[in-house]
Amino acid sequence: MRRRLLRLGYPGGLVARAIDRLTALGYLDDVAFARAWVESRDRAHPRGALVLRRELVLRGVARETIDEALAGREAAVPRSPAGPGGEADERAAVALLERRRRGLEREPDPRRRRQRAYALLARSGFDPETCRTVAAVFFTPGDDVPVDEDPVTSISPDGQVRSAAAPCAASARRVGTRA
């Protein structure tokens, strides 16, 4: 808010007093904002911790506050040794795949289905290990393709090897980052 008010041309002293007053009244609370942002994203548009961190930095939230909000996200998730759901990122990845299940299941080839799931998760800011694990576990029942195969690499018609682990510039722009 401070940057925006200064950019609009308000004097620095006035901006500082206004920020102090709003903070004292409880109208400006970065901790509450960061927690609400993370909870909202987990509920409506699941994203990985890296993207959540980047989004909050772009909104001017301090790194310590972001760390606290993401630690709260991890603490809220019950630990489970079996399969996805043990970590907040895995739970969010499963939620995203659940939302997109119908579209992914239209792909009849199990290997391509896992590739598409991996690519979706990678574009959404999940780390490669989470993408691989969740995509493999999510579509394993009834699939006849071994899970240990690399679900991310494909070869384009011009012979170049492509990897879903490195999101393209267009998907990076959608989440407010640069590739």
What pTM does this model have? Answer: 0.63
Residue 120 has a pLDDT of: 93
- pLDDT at position 173 is 42
Q: What is the pLDDT of residue 55?
A: 93
pLDDT digits (tens, 9 = 90+) for 115-127: 999 999 999 989 9
Q: Write the DSSP assignment of 28-84 as a string of letters.
A: --HHHHHHHHHHHHHHHS---HHHHHHHHHHTT--HHHHHHHHHHHHHTSPP-SSST
Domain range summary for the chain, segments of one domain joined by + = 99-179
